[in-house]
Amino acid sequence: KAGVTQTPRYLIKTRGQQVTLSCSPISGHRSVSWYQQTPGQGLQFLFEYFSETQRNKGNFPGRFSGRQFSNSRSEMNVSTLELGDSALYLCASSMVDRGSGEQYFGPGTRLTVT
């Protein structure tokens, strides 16, 4: 069974630009969650989508948004990039909602904002 895939793996953007990251979950998984990982803040929850609906959202500004498609693939968008958005962005999928099920992480997208 193929694992969680994320594209692109590496990205360099300039302040003020926007970026879209993509996540393809394991086949059959309906929940996709997004996380930001930085050396200073650690792992922080961004949001979770379950069956195309945002189930909950972490404490991030509105510049961070996401969506999930009918095939469970998910995208995350960050508008008006700031230097502090440089981070590893991880997505994880689970068969049921995240609170009840095992989560499997993708390799992440390393975003650098200059």
Single out the residue of 11, 13, 20, 45 in contact with another protein (rule: CB under 8 A).
45
Smallest gap, in angstroms, from Cβ of residue 62 to another protein? Answer: 18
Applying CB under 8 A, does 103 fall inside the site for another protein? yes
Question: Where does this chain touch another protein (CB under 8 A) — which range of 9-17, 18-26, 65-73, 104-112?
Answer: 104-112
Token pair in block for residue 37: 């990982």
Which of residues 19, 32, 87, 90 is near another protein by CB under 8 A? 90
Cα 23 to Cα 83: distance, rounded to the nearest angstrom: 23
C-alpha closest to that of 46 among 54, 55, 31, 35: 35
HEC profile of 29-58: CCEEEEEEEECCCEEEEEEEEECCEEEEEC
- Residues numbered 57 to 86 that lie near another protein (CB under 8 A) are 58
Q: Which two tokens stand for residue 11?
A: 């990205």
Nearest to 83 by CA among 111, 58, 60: 111
* Residue among 14, 42, 62, 83 that touches another protein (CB under 8 A): 42
Residues that bind another protein (CB under 8 A): 33, 35, 42-45, 48, 55-56, 58, 90, 92, 98-108
